[in-house]
């Protein structure tokens, strides 16, 4: 009658820690058919006071300040890696070597070399592994995938992805870890383009070659005094170098002949979480925007000629992916639900011994594209993914 | 260090039970400054198997099949009445008489007489009381209130409210309790117009007189075989009478000179939870729609003439009501969060001995308007609220 | 080879005079199949200097200051009545008695009695007659009509019409003729609700009974010193009484069982020409808004359940009404084109001896509804159209 | 009292011929302050029957089949070149050598070499010259320029331009002249990207370097049997090669440090005339889309933090560029009005001996960017404009 328990250790307690905690806490409260129930066993972070508060606030049974210690615990089934990118590889590899299931935040790593080692580790140890590209798990995105698979969009010609934000336009915004290359790996590129690349691969197919450019508009910022549980923090009076890109754009050719453009920036005033893509195919078009994540715009060319137009679907009805677990149609869900839907899908797959996508293999593929764009940007030429 | 506990008993386990359970479970996980933490002590319903499942699924410690027994318990601090309207009065009055805090789903009662008795009960027993008009607690609605209070909209001329749904357009949709007068009191009127009336009173002011009409388009439907946790259920082969309105419209004059129109229907195909209002004042206008509840449209007439236009505010930034507890701007919240925000506000008020609005007094006022429309519709004349 | 000529006399040279002049000048330049070509023969107005300038600017061959003299002219085929409402009846009746074709601006008259006399005059004299409800001739509106006639919307349940403007919110806006009852007949009601009533009758059917209210928010304004060719003018320092409504709202029952609400106001800040209607039927819904007049929103309930949503049709493709005469799809037309499309339809009908709709009969029916709302508003009761 | 006459010869009578004819016919009917009035003297085309019909339909006094003969006429003041791109250079150069004012359709030429010769010809002969980038003359675009010049957008970081259409997605759409390189020069690139490049240069500044790609999705189509006055025609049974691009995308760096992406395609189903740009600066953002050309979306970062959002300006009020000549606010204008506004601006400039922009110099600069993208696409590298 009662569900099997699965003990989770969460490494990281900031913005992603908050979102992941919520997912584990909520998933079994909504998804009836999930036969396993995650237990919020231990949360881990370096700052003891902060991690203790996080454990209490988010409902974790225990906290720890050593991820090595946590990974050694026999009672832990799944390790969730929600720390900055430079720590993904050591933690995830250790977890894999310890035979744990691993969920890792995106991007998988700060370098392709790291990503490949992580992939090897989960392969070698045969541990279930997952990459946290939560946006795949918006119902409207799953519906987009379904419509493509049904053939309603036809052969895809164009993918047009932009991920626009504006939280660092102000030059006095502090130098948070997301703006430091040694921690974050890159700026808008790894943070935002990683999502678009994963989305493009999910919906269109593998990427063949890219030509890109990157730009840092504000080159110095005040160093950080203290961070918050969102994206910002308190500025100090000392200045430091911004070592990542503020914006990154690239053109792309897919293996299947489709072409596209992908752009990430944190300098688009008025755009808050404008993760938007448009797909044009031989039979129809699709538009999605995370700011209105409960909607999907769809154009079908086989509608009667006088009655064709972009439909705004409310992807929140009971027949839409994940939505029978939630609320009646039009009673929308939010950002956090993408994580819960992901965790549901992941736990069900792991429980059944099935592969969950996206996994570390996707992480490697996404990372290869990110890195190809980086090279292209430096060398001012097209770079084929097969070069890497 | 740890928060004070407050034991909750929830009467009802269907759609509203699900939403309220979630609110109690989540509120302390997000709102740091809440000094009291609700405990999901007992959930109550008539069908033992169903209520047992609900307890397990939603995370309640215990379940019971007798609300009378639950109310007698000394360890219960707050009784949450989330059953159909015909049971609001007996349960809420009993809870008040037992000295419990009470949160009651809207509309407060099926009749004005009942509502007044409930109000008397909480007055007499001096118990903290709350009415669950969750839509007031969408951040965008609170922002609308704030802008009005700041004087940015000026003297209000118009309120235009429509609450449009389409879930019963199909004549084969079954005769759920919401379509039975003896249980629900009324149809779209009490269910949807109640929200608009509360919103109008919250934002514009008290209503003076009304002229209304009601209509039932589909007069017979298949009886219900089994209900689900949303709004629907399984139809049986036997037919029954629809005894409530499918649509209810009315014109309104406010005490302050503003005029308005209010309409509820469940027969507007394509509208899912289209709870929309527009307010026009001498200095600006406001538009809100629950289907895009994270946004508020605002027009300010004091903008430069060549640069005036409706702004689409994303009411999800940290300075917007409730949002510092949630996610970064543009990372939207959903329907369920309106309940969590309400429960947060209510618990904080109760904990501090402050009045929470809307309360049972608002319930009486809202009910008077509902009833005035009903009379107006039958007698085909304007009805003043002061008549009742 | 060349087209037959039809000599037009235009009475009035202000805003509507400008729009009608353009229609006569343009119609034969775009509609190939029109076998008659209007000649801009004479424009008529009381102020000689102004009408002379208008003749020159708008391309009329002659001007005159006496409408009586113009109507007597043998060479005039069609008299276009584009003056304020109080002069519609005398001019149109004289034109009919002189055997002229007549196009009259809306509303047909300031009173139902006048409207009936005008209708009798055109009936008695058997002259082709037309009422200038130009909004019927937006391609998107004709498409709405076509979809309804095709049965795509099903049985209509709801009509929801609002015509919102904001050009007189400022209390210092002068007392133009549109704000004087003896000239305009009424305010927002005859100016704006007349359009909505005509639209409702065109798309839904005849109106059975109404319950309405009217309001004048600003009761005194500066008198007018000089008018412009749009809607405004220059204020003088003397004040005068506003004798018409600023806003007029009413509920409506149609003969076929549909119900509706209709509202006009000039006090909705941010709404410029927000002539919007929504129709909900048993099979679908329609939304039109004159501010985006090239678009029609359509919802079809027979779309696959997972792919239903409001479509935004661009009603500017070659198969859409009138559009094969204009530009490629997406290359939009504007407000003035509704008049050109109307004049095209009218001239073709008159040339073929066919009835053009809307005509003076529609004018009488529209006027009856306007007047019923006026009575209802004064007597605070429902008024049946059959009473009048 | 009466206006000076200016005799116009129009070379070309298809889609652009229709639009330009209308502009000359209408301009003096609306713009009071224009002191010169164009006379539709002669229209010219190779097919005598067609050009005779066009003359009659569009209101030209005469027609001719020889552009050489027309240019020799002493009575012609202005030559309007509205033929396919391969004929721009010979006609415009001859017109300049004959001392005529010249208005040329965009793109200025099919090659940069041709464009430079044309520019030299107008320079040498000192003839007033104009390039027909009509979209600059949408009121909303002029308003965008005004807001940028006022400093409301700040330093520009991003330009994001897409011009999406779908009229050739169907593989059976015929091989019209726009799909033949020897006539059109290029496909979506010269037709659509030319507009975006001109817009980007107008609003952001000169372009420094580009990296582009081009694609032809459908490589063979049925040859054309007969063309229409829009964009299409009748297909024959014989197939022919498509020799132009279906889509063309490029990344761009501006001289002032801004970066951007520009894309044109005729393969975006559902997009009809989706000529959209977004500009993000240090103080605000702007969005324009030709499909809703009467609107401009604007975001100002200096709005109060809780009340920031994209405003949808209706750029149709009397204080907006060109609009005092047209209709009251919200009574929208259409595609054809961009040509009338352009012709108004051009005639006023020519009449006053002032430079009109865009002119042939802009044509050369735009062409250099087009050609740089072409080279970049072939050589798969960044190309600096200064190379050409």
Say which residue the tokens 């005159």 belong to. Answer: C64
Q: How far apart are CA B355 and CA B186, in angstroms?
A: 29
- Across the interface, of B306, B314, B317, the residue whose CB is closest to D320 is B306
Token output for A272: 């808050």
Cβ contacts of residue D12 below 8 Å, gap of 6+?
D20, D44, D45, D80, D81, D82, D83, D105
C215 touches chain B (CB under 8 A): yes
For B269, how many CA atoms within 13 A lie in the half-sphere containing its CB? 29
Cβ contacts of residue B60 below 8 Å, gap of 6+?
B10, B21, B40, B41, B42, B43, B54
Which letter does DSSP use for residue C128 in this model?
-
CA angle B181, C159, B192 (to 5 degrees): 35
Nearest to C267 by CA among B306, B301, D295, B296: B301
Q: b/e map of A9-39 (b: 16 or more CB within 10 Å)?
A: bbbbbbbbbbbbbbbbbbbbbbbeebebbbb
Q: Does domain A4-130 have CATH number 3.30.390.30?
A: no
B278–chain D nearest CA distance, Å: 16
CB atoms within 10 A of CB B72: 11
Give the number of A-D residue pairs with CB atoms closer than 8 Å: 116
Which letter does DSSP use for residue A172 in this model?
T
- Across the interface, of C166, C268, C301, the residue whose CB is closest to B269 is C301
Token output for A302: 């086989």
Q: What residues in D contact C311, CB-CB < 8 Å?
A: none
A226 — pLDDT class (breaks 50, 70, 90):
confident
The predicted-structure confidence for B54-108, as pLDDT tens digits, reads as follows: 999 999 999 999 999 999 999 999 999 999 999 999 999 999 999 999 999 999 9
Name the CATH superfamily, with its identifier, for domain D4-135.
Answer: NAD(P)-binding Rossmann-like Domain (3.40.50.720)
Nearest to B24 by CA among B357, B353, B356, B344: B344
**Cβ-defined contact of C310 to A311 (cutoff 8 Å):** yes
Average pLDDT, chain C: 96
**Cβ-defined contact of A333 to B330 (cutoff 8 Å):** no
Which of the four CATH numbers 3.10.150.10, 3.40.50.2300, 3.30.360.10, 3.40.190.10 does domain C137-334+341-357+366-379 have?
A: 3.30.360.10
Which letter does DSSP use for residue D283 in this model?
S
D280 touches chain A (CB under 8 A): yes
CB C184 within 8 A of CB C177: yes
Question: What pLDDT is stored for residue D31 in this prediction?
Answer: 97
CB B94 within 8 A of CB B352: no
A179–chain D nearest CA distance, Å: 18
Sheet holding C78-81, edge to edge: C62-64, C36-44, C4-11, C78-81, C101-105, C129-132
A1 touches chain C (CB under 8 A): no
Kindly tell me if the per-residue pLDDT of B9 is higher than 90. Answer: yes
| Nearest residue on chain D to C31, alpha-carbon basis | D57
Q: How far apart are CA A263 and CA A195, in angstroms?
A: 11
Q: Per-residue confidence of chain D (388 residues) as pLDDT tens digits? A: 578 999 999 999 999 999 999 999 999 999 999 999 999 999 999 999 999 999 999 999 999 999 999 999 999 999 999 999 999 999 999 999 999 999 999 999 999 999 999 999 999 999 999 999 999 999 999 999 999 999 999 999 999 999 999 999 999 999 999 999 999 999 999 999 999 999 999 999 999 999 999 999 999 999 999 887 777 889 999 999 999 999 999 999 999 999 999 999 999 999 999 999 999 999 999 999 999 999 999 999 999 999 999 999 999 999 999 999 999 999 999 999 999 999 999 999 999 999 999 999 999 999 999 999 999 999 999 999 999 9
CB atoms within 10 A of CB C357: 15
| Nearest residue on chain A to D250, alpha-carbon basis | A251
Q: At what angle do helices C194-203 and C360-379 cross, to 10 degrees?
A: 120
C383–chain D nearest CA distance, Å: 34
Q: At what angle do helices C360-379 and C112-124 cross, to 10 degrees?
A: 160
Nearest to C381 by CA among C210, C260, C248, C219: C210
- Across the interface, of C15, C21, C329, the residue whose CB is closest to D272 is C329
The predicted-structure confidence for D20-52, as pLDDT tens digits, reads as follows: 999 999 999 999 999 999 999 999 999 999 999
Which letter does DSSP use for residue A190 in this model?
I
* H or E, element range at A29: helix A15-30
CB B247 within 8 A of CB B261: no
| Nearest residue on chain B to D142, alpha-carbon basis | B306
Q: Does domain B138-357+366-379 have CATH number 3.30.360.10?
A: yes
Cis peptide upstream of residue A358 (ω within 30 degrees of 0): yes
Say which residue the tokens 């330093």 belong to. Answer: D155
CA D239 vs CA C79, D90, D171, D218, D225: distances in Å: 55, 30, 11, 12, 11
C329 touches chain D (CB under 8 A): yes
B272 touches chain A (CB under 8 A): yes
Q: Do D136-357+366-379 and D4-135 have the same topology in CATH?
A: no
The predicted-structure confidence for C2-47, as pLDDT tens digits, reads as follows: 789 999 999 999 999 999 999 999 999 999 999 999 999 999 999 9
C230 — pLDDT class (breaks 50, 70, 90):
confident
Answer positive or negative: Cα dihedral of A128, A85, A187, A166: positive
Q: How far apart are CA A352 and CA A6, in angstroms?
A: 13
The domain segmentation of chain A, as residue ranges, is 4-130, 136-357+366-379
Q: What residues in A contact D266, CB-CB < 8 Å?
A: none
Q: How far apart are CA A108 and CA A128, in angstroms?
A: 15
A207 touches chain D (CB under 8 A): no
A215 touches chain D (CB under 8 A): yes
Gyration radius from chain A CA atoms: 21
Selected residues 87-116 of chain C with any CB under 8 Å from a CB in chain D: none
Distance between start and end Cα atoms, chain B = 50
| Nearest residue on chain A to D272, alpha-carbon basis | A309
B264–chain D nearest CA distance, Å: 28
Nearest to D338 by CA among C271, C327, C25: C327
Kindly tell me if the per-residue pLDDT of A1 is higher than 70. Answer: no
* H or E, element range at C174: none
CA angle D227, D232, D235 (to 5 degrees): 70
**Cβ-defined contact of B213 to C253 (cutoff 8 Å):** yes
- Work out the average pLDDT over A373-377: 98
CB C336 within 8 A of CB C19: yes
CB C107 within 8 A of CB C124: no
Answer positive or negative: Cα dihedral of D277, D278, D279, D283: positive
- Across the interface, of B59, B328, B335, the residue whose CB is closest to A332 is B335
* H or E, element range at C116: helix C112-124
Q: Which chains touch D (3 or more CB pairs under 8 A)?
A: A, B, C
| Nearest residue on chain A to D159, alpha-carbon basis | A268
A280 touches chain B (CB under 8 A): no
Kindly tell me if the per-residue pLDDT of B1 is higher than 70. Answer: no
CA C23 from centroid of its chain's CA atoms: 14
CB B209 within 8 A of CB B258: no
Token output for A339: 């994580």
Selected residues 231-260 of chain B with any CB under 8 Å from a CB in chain C: 247, 249-251, 253, 257, 259
* H or E, element range at D281: strand D274-281
**Cβ-defined contact of C327 to D336 (cutoff 8 Å):** yes
**What is the percent of chain C where pLDDT is above 70?**
100
Give the number of C-D residue pairs with CB atoms closer than 8 Å: 105
- Across the interface, of A58, A314, A333, the residue whose CB is closest to B291 is A314
Which letter does DSSP use for residue B153 in this model?
S
C307 touches chain A (CB under 8 A): yes
CB B364 within 8 A of CB B112: yes
CB A50 within 8 A of CB A150: no
- Across the interface, of D22, D231, D291, the residue whose CB is closest to C332 is D291
Which letter does DSSP use for residue D353 in this model?
T
Q: How far apart are CA C126 and CA C97, in angstroms?
A: 9
- Across the interface, of D22, D167, D274, the residue whose CB is closest to C29 is D22
Nearest to A273 by CA among A166, A384, A121, A127: A166
Candidates B232, B269, B280: best to mutate against C (most CBs of C within 10 A) is B269
Q: Does domain D136-357+366-379 have CATH number 2.40.30.10?
A: no
Which residues face B102 on adjacent strands?
B79, B129
Token output for D169: 């997605």
Which letter does DSSP use for residue C352 in this model?
T
CA angle C44, C48, C52 (to 5 degrees): 70
The predicted-structure confidence for D357-371, as pLDDT tens digits, reads as follows: 999 999 999 999 999
Cis peptide upstream of residue B29 (ω within 30 degrees of 0): no
Q: What residues in C contact D19, CB-CB < 8 Å?
A: 327
Q: How far apart are CA A142 and CA D171, in angstroms?
A: 30
For C213, how many CA atoms within 13 A lie in the half-sphere containing its CB? 20
Q: What residues in C contact A306, CB-CB < 8 Å?
A: 143, 146, 313, 317, 319-320
CB D93 within 8 A of CB D117: yes
Q: What residues in D contact A299, CB-CB < 8 Å?
A: 269-270
**Cβ-defined contact of D259 to A215 (cutoff 8 Å):** yes
Phi, psi (degrees; rounded to nearest 5) at A193: -60, -30
Q: What residues in A contact B167, CB-CB < 8 Å?
A: 328-329
Q: How far apart are CA B130 and CA A384, in angstroms?
A: 63
**Cβ-defined contact of D158 to A284 (cutoff 8 Å):** no
Q: How far apart are CA A33 and CA A349, in angstroms?
A: 12
- Across the interface, of B146, B295, B309, the residue whose CB is closest to D314 is B309
DSSP per residue over B67-105, as a string?
HHHHHH-TT--EEEE-S-GGGHHHHHHHHHHTT-EEEEE
Answer positive or negative: Cα dihedral of D350, D355, D361, D365: negative
CA B152 vs CA B148, B158, B285, D248, D306: distances in Å: 6, 15, 9, 47, 12
Q: Which chains touch B (3 or more CB pairs under 8 A)?
A: A, C, D
**Cβ-defined contact of C319 to A305 (cutoff 8 Å):** yes
């Amino acid at each position: 009658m009662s569900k099997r328990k699965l003990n989770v250790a969460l490494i990281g307690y900031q913005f992603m820690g908050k979102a992941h905690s919520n997912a584990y806490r909520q998933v079994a409260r909504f998804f009836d058919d999930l036969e396993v129930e995650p237990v919020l066993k231990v949360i881990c972070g370096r700052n003891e006071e902060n991690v203790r508060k996080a454990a209490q606030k988010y409902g974790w049974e225990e906290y720890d300040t050593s991820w090595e210690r946590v990974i050694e615990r026999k009672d832990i089934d799944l390790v969730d890696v929600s720390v900055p990118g430079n720590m993904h590889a050591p933690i995830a590899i250790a977890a894999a070597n310890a035979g744990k299931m691993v969920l890792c935040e995106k991007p998988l790593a700060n370098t392709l070399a790291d990503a490949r080692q992580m992939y090897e580790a989960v392969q070698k140890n045969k541990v279930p592994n997952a990459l946290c590209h939560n946006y795949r798990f918006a119902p409207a995105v799953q519906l987009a995938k379904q419509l493509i698979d049904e053939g309603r969009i036809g052969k895809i010609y164009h993918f047009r992805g932009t991920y626009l934000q504006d939280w660092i336009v102000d030059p006095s915004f502090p130098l948070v870890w997301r703006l430091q290359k040694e921690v974050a790996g890159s700026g808008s590129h790894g943070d935002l383009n990683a999502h678009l690349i994963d989305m493009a691969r999910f919906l269109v197919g593998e990427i063949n070659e890219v030509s890109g450019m990157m730009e840092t508009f504000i080159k110095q910022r005040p160093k950080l005094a203290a961070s918050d549980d969102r994206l910002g923090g308190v500025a100090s009076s000392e200045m430091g170098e911004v070592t990542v890109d503020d914006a990154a754009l690239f053109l792309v050719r897919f293996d299947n002949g489709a072409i596209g453009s992908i752009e990430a920036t944190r300098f688009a005033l008025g755009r808050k979480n404008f993760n938007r893509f448009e797909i044009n195919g031989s039979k129809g078009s699709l538009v999605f925007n995370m700011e209105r994540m409960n909607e999907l715009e769809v154009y079908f060319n086989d509608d009667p000629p006088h009655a064709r137009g972009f439909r705004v679907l409310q992807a929140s009805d009971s027949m839409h992916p994940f939505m029978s677990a939630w609320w009646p149609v039009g009673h929308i869900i939010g950002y956090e639900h993408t994580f819960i839907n992901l965790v549901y899908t992941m736990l069900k797959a792991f429980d059944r011994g099935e592969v969950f996508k996206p996994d570390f293999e996707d992480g490697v593929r996404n990372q290869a594209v990110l890195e190809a764009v980086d090279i292209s940007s430096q060398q001012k030429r097209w770079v084929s993914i097969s070069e890497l």
